[in-house]
Amino acid sequence: SKSYNMAGWRIGFMVGNPELVNALARIKSYHDYGTFTPLQVAAIAALEGDQQCVKDIAEQYRQRRNVLVKGLHELGWMVENPKASMYVWAKIPEQYAAMGSLEFAKKLLLDAKVCVSPGIGFGEYGDDHVRFALIENQ
């Protein structure tokens, strides 16, 4: 979905053992009422249409990533440059590591007006990282 700027639009299908597919359909029916038809139509149009947009979107995220990583490096925060993603997963600088990701994320928000996702939200082993989303224009 992210390749078409449709992040969060949960579009999917399942193929397999009929008993398992039916069991999943039953569970899903208790969870929601299916995918909104216009979203399904949009997903089909995205998949069947001209795919140049996928390259354009990937290039846009690459440029955003480069600007963010370069800026962080200039500040002395030596984050890794991800090969592909709409996120930068950044290890918390050593001098702030004891804070943990939640408190460090709060500090970034209050002191620098930068919003990141605390790594703890992705599991205990993520607590020494924060995640930047590359959603803003450079």
For residue 59, the SS3 value is helix
- Per the structure block, which two tokens stand in for 46? 């995205």
Average pLDDT, the chain: 91
Q: How confident is the model at residue 35 (pLDDT cuts 50, 70, 90)?
A: confident
| Percent residues over pLDDT 90 in the chain | 70
Q: Can you tell me the distance from the alpha carbon of 91 to that of 3, in angstroms, rounded to the nearest whole number?
A: 26
For domain 52-133, give the CATH superfamily.
Aspartate Aminotransferase, domain 1 (3.90.1150.10)
Give ∠ CA 70-57-35 in degrees, rounded to 5: 125
Look at residue 30 in the predicted model and tell me its pLDDT.
Answer: 77
Helix, strand, coil percent values for the chain (each to nearest 5): 55, 10, 35
Q: How confident is the model at residue 104 (pLDDT cuts 50, 70, 90)?
A: very high
Strands across the sheet containing 129-133: 87-91, 129-133, 117-118
Q: Can you tell me the distance from the alpha carbon of 78 to that of 81, in angstroms, rounded to the nearest whole number?
A: 9
- Domain layout of the chain by residue ranges: 2-48, 52-133
Q: How confident is the model at residue 107 (pLDDT cuts 50, 70, 90)?
A: very high
